[in-house]
Structure formats: structure tokens, C-alpha cells
């Protein structure tokens, strides 16, 4: 039987993906261009007995999201640049205390209030470095409306599996674009739930270093009492001044990413085998890049497309590999050069050419094709 297809907006697909993943808690604050996610979930979550709350500000909404997760829910919040700035302390807390949650960031022009209704991709480094201290980051970057649905599901799975905040970052264009989306049936996509402890209550340690990722109990639901803090802590969750344990804690939250790159990384490549000109593109910009790449091939130019769906952790190994054959990387992005810096880092000695727009207009295929032709 043919799958149900619906014509829907990116933000709508995000809400659909969240519900498919089992999201039953949302706390948010109105902000353009992500508000539709809050609105749709405000309508849908009560229908399935889920919890939804509009908090007094962005800081409170990430805090309530983390609280909801510790209360045993699959928790989500959605925002845009200015809200993302405010959420940073909570994001650091979730990384430090290892609390699963998903954060959608629909990117608009910045800095500051910027261009609320215009697209950008200028929060990519905020995703990586926004909150203070060394912390793990997973950020997914879908390019299409159907992908927003599936990547939102993947974000929940990664958050629950690795006990950490996971971002889905997409620009306003994809967020407000409408495309046909095939609605997955239950069972079509994998759903991951967080591991629960099975030990005796008195033996439970929420940060048990015998596990790579310790099981997480819910407050008041699973029969375990435990302590959570944003301070450096020991296996039992209590603050510690033991320098060895502090070191171990700081490294272990990073190691869960580094040791599981194969599981976390995801990208799409087109004609990369012999690519001399590599387009590195994500979000709506990847759509223009994809068109330009096809046109270039039609003209006999050895162009390829590398499209990361996981932007953080950065696909370092794959870029190093591509750099062996490439003579240039072209990185179109709606910012003044953010991910191009990472490409440069992983492709030493190879030219990295940015195509950058910060005028609130998309980067069009002709612009990219023109750039490709300069390097043929």
C-alpha cells in the first residue's frame, strides 16, 4: 500500500518527526521563524496526553525541557538565534549533567535581532561553541522537508542513546518551505529509548563510570533516588573536588561522541569518486549546490557534492579523504564563512573558496555554478 503523503511545511515536519519519535514534552517560547513547531505541538501533545508549556522566556524553556526529561519524558524545545543565545547556560547544563533533550534551531539572520523573517546559516559555530567549557555537541542539518522529519527522529534517538542535548539546525527557507512528505508508519523508522537502570536502588549511580553511557532513571517513576548537579561530579552525581574524577568526567562526556562517530555521522555524497571540485553544502544551500553540481557535470566538470547531515561532530575523516583528490572545496553558506573554517582545518594546503551571503537572500545555483566554472 502506498504510504500517506502530505504536503507540509518544514516546521510541521519537525513536529511530525518529534511525535513519531515519542516526544511527550515540549517547553518553548514564541520566536520567529520556529513558532509553528510550538503551535503544532501545543495542539497535538495534549491529544496524546503529552505535556506542553509556554514558559516566560527562552532560559526557562530549556530549563523546563531538561526538567521534563528528568521527569522521564522525551523532551523538546524549539527556537531561533536570539533564543539560542539565551539557552546556552541550559545547554551546558544538559551536556554536563547528561540529560537527553532535543533543540530545534531555525536559523534567521543575525547577529542580535537581525533579520527575523530572513534565512541564514549563521548559528553553526554557536552550536559548537555557544556555551562555555568543553562540551560534546551533536548538530544535524537537514536540507529538505522530508529530511526534517527523519532527522528530528534521529535527533531524539541520539539524545536518548548518548544522554545529551542534540540540535537540529535548519535555515528559515527549509523551515517554511512546503514539500510532499511521506509519513512513516510505526516501525518504519528506528526509535531509541534511553537505557533505564536495573540495579538495586541503593546501588544506582547516575554517572556510573563502569558504563560508557550510564542508564538514567526518572525522578519519582522508576524507584531510584539520585542527585543531579551542573557541578563536576562523581559517579554518584554529587559534587567532587577530586581532580582525577573531574578530569575523567570532562573527558568522558566528549569520549561518548569520539568513540561513536560511525553511529553519529551521516552525510550524502554525489559524484565524489573523482571530484576535483568539491561542494560542501548543507541546509537549503545544499539544494542550490546540488543543482549546480549536476549542471557542472553536464558540462564535463569533475564536480562533486558533500552534504553533511551531521554537522557536529564534524565529518573530519571524510573531508580529509576528499582532500586527497580535490583541488578546491567550494563552501556556499548563508554566513560570512563558518563551516568553511572547518573544511580548511581538515584540508590543509587545498584552496577553500567560500560563497557567502548575509543579505537574507538564498544562494542561488547560478552563483555556485559561476564559481565552479572559475576552477574547471
Partner 1 sequence: MTAEAAKKQKLSVPFDYSKYLRGGKLPHIWCPGCGHGIILKALLRAIDKIGLTNDEICMVSGIGCSSRTPGYVDFNTMHTLHGRALSYATGIKMANPDLNLIVTTGDGDALAIGGNHFIHTCRRNIDMTILVYSNSIYGMTGGQFSPTTPEGSKTSTSPYGAMEPNFDCCELAKASGATFVARATSYHVAELERTIKAAIEHKGTSVVEILDQCPIYFGRQNKYKSASHMMEMIEKDGTVSVKQVDKLPPEKLEGKLLRGILHQVEGEEYCDKYAKIIEKAQD
Binding footprint of partner 1 on the chain (CB under 8 A): 25, 27, 43, 46-47, 49, 51, 53, 55-57, 59-61, 63-73, 75, 89-90, 93, 218-221, 223, 225-231, 238-239
**Closest separation between CB of residue 225 and partner 1, Å?**
5
Please identify, using beta-carbon distances, which residue of 111 and 239 lies nearer to partner 1.
Answer: 239
Distance CA 64, CA 70 (A): 10
**Closest separation between CB of residue 357 and partner 1, Å?**
36
**Closest separation between CB of residue 279 and partner 1, Å?**
41
**Closest separation between CB of residue 101 and partner 1, Å?**
10
Chain center to CA of 109: 18
DSSP state of 46: G
Question: Which residues, in sequence order, are CB contacts of 136 under 8 Å at separation 6+?
Answer: 95, 162, 164, 253, 254, 256, 257
**Closest separation between CB of residue 49 and partner 1, Å?**
6
Phi, psi of 287, deg, nearest 5: -70, -40
Please identify, using beta-carbon distances, which residue of 70 and 296 lies nearer to partner 1.
Answer: 70
DSSP bridge pairs for 28: 54
Question: Which residues, in sequence order, are CB contacts of 150 under 8 Å at separation 6+?
Answer: 17, 142, 184, 189
Q: Which residues of 254-290 are buried (b: 16+ CB within 10 A; e: fewer)?
A: eebbeebeeebbebeebbbeebebbbbbbbbbbbbbb
Please identify, using beta-carbon distances, which residue of 25 and 329 lies nearer to partner 1.
Answer: 25
Please identify, using beta-carbon distances, which residue of 200 and 324 lies nearer to partner 1.
Answer: 200
Q: Where are the alpha helices (DSSP H) in 45-143?
A: 58-70, 81-97, 124-129
Distance CA 181, CA 210 (A): 42
DSSP state of 236: T
**Closest separation between CB of residue 68 and partner 1, Å?**
4
Please identify, using beta-carbon distances, which residue of 49 and 349 lies nearer to partner 1.
Answer: 49
Please identify, using beta-carbon distances, which residue of 90 and 313 lies nearer to partner 1.
Answer: 90
Distance CA 242, CA 282 (A): 42
Distance CA 33, CA 14 (A): 13
**Closest separation between CB of residue 180 and partner 1, Å?**
28
Please identify, using beta-carbon distances, which residue of 93 and 170 lies nearer to partner 1.
Answer: 93
**Closest separation between CB of residue 238 and partner 1, Å?**
6
**Closest separation between CB of residue 37 and partner 1, Å?**
18
Distance CA 240, CA 233 (A): 5
Please identify, using beta-carbon distances, which residue of 10 and 237 lies nearer to partner 1.
Answer: 237
Residue 172 has which C-alpha cell?
Answer: 528559515
Please identify, using beta-carbon distances, which residue of 7 and 238 lies nearer to partner 1.
Answer: 238
Question: Which residues, in sequence order, are CB contacts of 135 under 8 Å at separation 6+?
Answer: 91, 92, 95, 96, 253, 254
**Closest separation between CB of residue 165 and partner 1, Å?**
14
Q: Is residue 283 classed as helix, strand or coil in its secondary structure?
A: helix
Please identify, using beta-carbon distances, which residue of 45 and 289 lies nearer to partner 1.
Answer: 45
Q: What is each CA distance from 252 to 8, 96, 155, 298, in whole angstroms?
A: 40, 10, 20, 48
Amino acid at each position: 500500500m502506498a504510504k500517506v503523503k502530505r504536503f507540509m511545511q518544514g516546521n510541521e515536519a519537525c513536529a511530525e518527526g518529534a511525535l513519531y519519535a515519542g516526544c511527550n514534552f515540549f517547553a518553548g517560547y514564541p520566536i520567529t521563524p520556529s513558532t509553528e513547531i510550538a503551535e503544532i505541538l501545543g495542539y497535538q501533545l495534549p491529544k496524546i496526553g503529552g505535556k506542553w508549556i509556554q514558559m516566560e522566556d527562552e532560559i526557562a524553556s530549556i530549563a523546563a525541557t531538561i526538567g521534563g526529561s528528568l521527569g522521564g519524558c522525551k523532551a523538546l524545545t524549539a527556537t531561533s538565534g536570539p533564543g539560542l543565545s539565551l539557552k546556552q547556560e541550559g545547554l551546558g547544563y544538559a551536556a554536563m549533567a547528561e540529560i537527553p533533550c532535543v533543540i530545534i534551531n531555525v536559523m534567521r539572520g543575525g547577529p542580535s535581532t537581525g533579520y527575523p523573517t530572513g534565512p541564514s546559516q549563521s548559528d553553526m559555530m554557536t552550536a559548537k561553541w555557544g556555551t562555555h567549557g568543553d562540551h560534546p555537541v551533536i548538530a544535524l542539518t537537514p536540507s529538505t522537508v522530508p529530511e526534517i522529519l527523519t532527522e528530528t527522529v534521529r535527533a531524539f534517538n541520539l539524545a536518548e542513546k548518548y544522554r545529551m542535548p542534540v540540535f537540529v539546525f535548519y535555515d528559515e527557507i527549509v523551515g517554511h518551505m512546503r514539500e510532499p512528505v511521506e509519513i512513516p508508519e510505526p516501525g518504519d523508522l528506528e526509535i531509541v529509548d534511553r537505557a533505564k537502570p536495573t540495579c538495586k536502588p541503593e546501588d544506582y549511580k547516575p554517572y556510573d563510570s563502569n558504563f560508557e553511557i550510564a542508564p538514567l532513571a526518572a525522578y519519582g517513576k522508576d524507584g531510584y533516588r539520585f542527585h543531579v548537579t551542573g557541578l563536576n561530579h562523581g559517579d554518584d552525581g554529587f559534587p567532587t573536588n577530586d581532580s582525577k574524577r573531574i578530569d575523567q568526567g570532562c573527558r568522558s562526556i566528549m569520549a561518548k561522541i569520539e568513540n561513536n562517530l560511525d553511529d553519529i555521522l551521516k552525510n550524502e555524497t554525489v559524484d565524489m569518486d573523482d571530484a576535483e571540485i568539491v561542494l560542501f553544502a548543507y541546509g537549503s544551500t545544499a539544494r542550490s549546490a546540488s543543482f549546480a553540481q549536476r549542471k557542472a557535470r553536464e558540462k564535463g566538470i569533475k564536480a562533486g557534492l558533500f552534504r553533511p547531515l551531521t554537522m557536529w561532530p564534524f565529518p573530519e575523516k571524510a573531508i580529509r579523504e576528499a582532500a586527497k583528490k580535490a583541488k578546491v572545496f567550494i563552501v556556499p553558506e548563508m554566513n560570512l564563512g563558518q563551516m568553511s573554517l572547518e573544511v580548511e582545518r581538515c584540508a590543509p594546503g587545498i584552496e577553500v573558496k567560500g560563497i557567502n551571503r548575509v543579505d537574507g537572500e538564498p544562494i542561488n545555483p547560478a552563483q555556485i555554478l559561476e564559481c565552479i566554472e572559475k576552477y574547471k
